[in-house]
Structure 1
Amino acid sequence: MRYPSIVHHGAVTGVTGSCHQLQMDDEHALLIDCGLFQGAETSPEGRAGAGKLAIDFSLDGIKALVATHVHIDHVGRIPYLLAAGFKGPILCSEPSAKLLPIVLEDAFKLGFSRDQKQVERYLKLIEQRIVALPYKQWFTLIDTPQLNAGIRLQRAGHILGSAYVEVDLQYPETGEKKRIVFSGDLGAPHAPILPAPKAPYKADILVIESTYGDRLHEDRRSRRARLEKVLEHALSNQGTVLIPAFSIGRTQELLYELEGIIHRRALKESAKVQSRTSKPNSSKATALDWTNLPIILDSPLASRFTSVYRELDQFWDAEARARLAKGRNPLAFRNLLTGDSHQAHLAMVNRLTQTAQPAIVIAGNGMCSSGRIVNYLKAMLGDERHDVLFVGYQAEGTPGRQIQRFGPRSGYVEFDGQRYDIRAQVHTIGGYSAHADQAGLVRFITGMRKWPSEVRVVHGEPEAKRALGRMLQDKFAERGLQRQLRVVIPI
């Protein structure tokens, strides 16, 4: 068998369950991610199927696991990996090292046990296994007469701590050298808070995600304007905007953008008031009350992650740090309310359903298959005063995809076996997906000084993968390199 070789244990039939095995030689392998399957990739209900949780591949020779970032579809099967007997380290970036125990604690409670002593033992085990790696520094993984292997993490711009992985392999006996790059999930350019990813210097083999491999995002100004219009509708219609959001990444980006919108609108309204005061005869147009619009973060897990984001502001981009320098708190502003207890959550659902107080609610989970967002949707989908705003990918087979697809047609969705008509307005703003679009993915490759000879396209729906593959072949052909590129779409 010729090495290196790659086996994909997930993210080949869709966008979840990322798990890739790099076989470096007969005795040494590296695992990149070990995530949960979600949506139709597991079951019609959008829940992780029992048959998809078990580790169904051999752990022989797997020396380490690298976690590109802490989203559940990339790390959610780690408890099952440990239960299957994996003894190696869990390598990740320094921010991910702080976030991963929070994610895996939640996963353990949902999948194994809520017994506090068991949870504490499990977390101690996790923390003993985690090895935090600084960005941009090489880490020696294997050093034998037959194989030298090193890895380096580079910022991926997807969520706090996200990384793409460079693996350098040298085979001293033959003199052969290979660099393999695993993209993980790449962030969109000009996304809030985090700097955009920069292309690697080179790659011989690239494993790249393709979530949005067949489409382009709105630019940041356009999507921010659309977000503002949805908020205006909520204010003028005395309704609630429901935003199903994943606890980490999109939630923090949204809070950042909402703080910016409210700050700008409050300044405008203040200027108008001053103008009217200086001109007593001017008309007094009714102003929307942006200053007191409540932004409700109804997710204890998202609140914990937001606290870590605030703690790790040294990893923010220049724009976000400039806001802090001006005394603004983009992730802890006055309008932001949080609810932790289940009782407080139910009280908030009832209050917003029965009153005409406009509000923005961000609640998990992002695909509406479980979590607190479901109670809001059950209570509000049937009322046209309200809006549902999707800002992230909705996997096939999830209630989120059904609402997104059938909402504009006055359709319905089922929760717990009961039908709920959709009369609320339904919006989608793709730019807040936290994933690079087709242009960003292509730029990640064409920005390299040395282009790869093999690109393995994973983590996407079939058409997205094919579209990205075609685009790459066109780009290589423009340079007369079409014969040097092998595009692989694993099945």
Structure 2
Amino acid sequence: MRVHFHGAAGEVTGSLHEVEAAGHRVLLDCGMIQGSPEAERRNTEAFPFEPAGLDALVISHVHIDHIGRVPLLVKRGFSGPIYTQEASADLMPVMLTDAASISEGDAERFNRYRRAGEPEAQPLFTRDDVRDAMALVRPLPYDTRTTILPGVDIAFREAGHILGSASVELWGDGRKLVFSGDLGPKGTPILRDPATIDRADLVIMESTYGDRLHRDRLETIRQFGEILDTAWNEGGTVLIPAFAVGRSQELLYWFARHWDEWNMARWRIFLDSPMAAKVVGIYDRHADLFDEDARRVWQDKPNPFRLPNLHFTASRDESMAINRIESGAIVIAGSGMANAGRILHHFRHRLGRRQTHVVFVGYQAEGTLGRRLVDGAKWVRIHGHDVRVNAQRHTVGGLSAHTDQHGLMAWYGAIGGDAGAAHPPLALVHGEDRAREALAGEIGEHFGVQARLARPGDTLEV
């Protein structure tokens, strides 16, 4: 078995790992590169392999940095099966259709104002390309070992990151590879904890927060409640950039759980994302994947997805109308890193106001608008306009959908190696170098394993 690292090797986004096993070629994830405009232009480059030569694609979960180039892969010649967990299979067309709409819209806007002599822009992929890709999807349940090619088996295990997220076990050539996907922290609302995996011959593990520990969740929730109180007392509005899958639903969960304590009835809450509204329906259909705490909240509190003051804004006009509200609104809008979507519209109108509170509840990749705001930028450019930032900014790290350094070490530490080894060889991906180096140092000290920091073009023999 061989593993070729192509993407998310030295950066967080663009997941792309190729496995050769039993004479077949299997791709793990096919994600979009996110960040600066220069980084995102790399999405249009040729794949470092021939798409038509792949035999199967395995998807860990449906965040765009893990699936965002799937339609492009199909467009360029891949025609094999695409395997993913059942809930992920339901979520995938929603995510990719939204990404296609954004890409088509960006191309249309560029072409409308392009200068003479500039080449016409093309979307990365279209909604027709998404339909072609979805025809190849083959859903699989958790915890079921399945033969996907002669001599190659896979199984999906709960990763606790978003609905349908999975760690992947892959068997071939008498070896077993484990790919963590993105791992959630224990105790994440709604979701079950990441599953423990018994053994492996090689582990490929994410390292997004490999250099830090999250704040205590109870302390984080206390902080969140204080932010809401402060914003209300100042006559302000709360803006929350959030991914449509995972974070948006978790925020609604916390609003329901602390309905009385936070006096949530006084607010007007807007889920300003047509995609997130569709995702809520998919969460409802997969309630069997919820943890026990979520089921108790559903029984004892207002249903998080049907709060009496929750408004789903489908149309652009409804979204724009929110900005006529002077105070008392909580707006959850995409994208989670503020590099696209409706949150930009709200930022443009409200960042200049001191009484605006912007709450960041997830990772902000290098080069994104969210990262610049978190780093304290005084001016940002949105839709061609320079916007002064007077808004108050809050980073609530304890709500991250990624586990932290301790969580990553505990998950890896539970996996035994082959031939009597205490722990298997480890390659770290999906992290900036600072995070990977810190995590590698801790793992070496605690487990005696020298983790490899994978780079694009690296190959590992298993």
Return the match for 2:226 from 222, 226, 229: 229
1:386 matches 2:356: yes
1:437 corresponds to 2:417: no
For the Cα contact (< 8 Å) 1:216–1:439, is it kept in 2? Answer: yes
Aligned residues: 434
Normalising by structure 2, we get a TM-score of 0.89
Residue by residue over 1:358-383, the C-alpha shift from the partner in whole angstroms, topping out at 9 and shown as x without a partner, is: 11111111111221111111111111
- In structure 2, which of residues 269, 282, 296 is the aligned counterpart of residue 308 of structure 1? 282
Residue 72 of structure 1: aligned partner:
64
The 1:214–1:225 alpha-carbon spacing in structure 2 relative to 1, beyond 3 Å, is same
| Contact 2:74–2:132 under 8 Å retained in 1 | no
**Paired position in structure 2 for 1:164:** 167
Q: Taking CA–CA contacts closer than 8 Å with sequence separation of 6 or more, which of the two structures ends up with the larger relative contact order?
A: 2
Q: Partner letter of residue 308 of structure 2?
A: R
- Match of 1:187, SS state, is coil
Any idea what the Cα deviations from partners look like across 1:158-196, whole Å, max 9, x if unmatched? 0000000001224xxxxxx21100011001111111011
**Is the 1:53–1:80 contact (alpha carbons within 8 Å) kept by the matching residues of 2?**
no
Q: Distance in 2 between matches of 1:159 and 1:105?
A: 19
Give percent identity, aligned residues only. Answer: 38
State the shift of 1:128 in Å. Answer: 2.7
Alignment match, 1:488:
452
Aligned equivalents of 1:371 and 1:108: distance in 2? Answer: 12
Q: Which residue of 2 aligns with 1:472?
A: 443
Alignment of 1:366-381 (within 5 A): 366-381=336-351
Distance 1:291 1:119 in 2: 41
Partner of 1:403: 373
Alignment map for 1:45-60 (pairs within 5 Å): 48-49=40-41, 52=44, 54-59=46-51
The DSSP-based 3-state class of the residue aligned with 1:200 is coil
Contact 1:392 1:432 in 2 (8 A): yes
- The amino acid across from 2:438 in the alignment is A
Of 112, 118, 133 in structure 2, the residue corresponding to residue 126 of structure 1 is 133
1:49-101 C-alpha deviation (Å, 9 max, x unpaired) = 15545434223642110110000000000011001110110100010111111
**Structure 2: how far apart are the matches of 1:79 and 1:127?**
8
Matched, 1:43 2:35: no
Alpha-carbon RMSD across the aligned residues, in angstroms, is 2.1
Give the equivalent residue in structure 2 for 1:294: 268
Q: Which runs of 5+ in 1 are unaligned?
A: 171-176, 267-289, 477-481
- The 5 Å alignment of 1:340-359 reads 340-349=314-323, 351-352=324-325, 355=326, 357-359=327-329
Partner of 2:299: 325
Q: Deviations over 1:124-181 (max 9, x none)?
A: 53343111111001001233xxxx22110001000000000001224xxxxxx21100
**What's 2:312 paired with?**
338
Q: Partner of 1:28 in structure 2?
A: 24
Structure 1 residue 120: deviation in Å? 7.3
Within 5 Å, give how 1:44-193 maps onto structure 2: 48-49=40-41, 52=44, 54-59=46-51, 61-111=53-103, 122=129, 124-143=131-150, 148-170=151-173, 177-193=174-190
Does structure 2 retain, via aligned residues, the 8 Å contact 1:199–1:443?
A: no
The amino acid of 1:88's aligned partner reads G
Q: Are the equivalent residues in 1 in contact too, given 2:72–2:129 (CA < 8 A)?
A: no
Taking a change above 3 Å as real, the CA distance of residues 387 and 110 of structure 1, as seen in their structure-2 partners, is closer
Structure 1 position 425 matched with structure 2 position 392: yes
**Amino acid in the other structure paired with 1:436:** T
> Whole-Å Cα distance in 2 between the matches of residues 37 and 220 of structure 1?
30
Secondary structure at 1:43's aligned position in 2? helix
Task: Flag structure 2 segments of 5+ consecutive residues without an equivalent.
Answer: 109-124, 456-462
SS of 2:26's partner is: strand
Tell me the equivalent position of 2:12: 15
1:6 and 2:13 correspond? no
Cα displacement (A) at 1:199: 2.1
User: Given that residues 55 and 84 in structure 1 are in contact (C-alpha distance below 8 angstroms), is that contact kept between their aligned partners in structure 2?
Assistant: no
Q: Would the alpha carbon gap of residues 341 and 185 (structure 1) be closer, same or farther in structure 2, given more than 3 Å must change? A: same
TM-score scaled by structure 1? 0.84
Per-residue Cα deviation, 1:219-248 (whole angstroms, up to 9, x for no partner): 221111111011001111110011011111
8 Å Cα contact 2:257/2:301 also seen in 1: no
Aligned equivalents of 2:137 and 2:128: distance in 1?
15
**What CA deviation, in whole Å up to 9, does each residue of 1:382-421 have, x standing for no partner?**
11111111001111111111111115xxx22222343222
Q: CA offset at residue 310 of structure 1?
A: 1.9
* Cα shift at 1:325: 2.9
2:452 aligned with 1:457: no
The Cα offsets for residues 287-316 of structure 1, whole Å up to 9 and x where unpaired, read as xxx422111111111111122112211111
When structure 1 is superposed on structure 2, of 50-59 and 360-369 the one drifting more is 50-59
Q: Which amino acid aligns with 2:18?
A: Q
* Matched AA of 1:465: R
In 2, Cα distance between equivalents of 1:436 and 1:326: 28
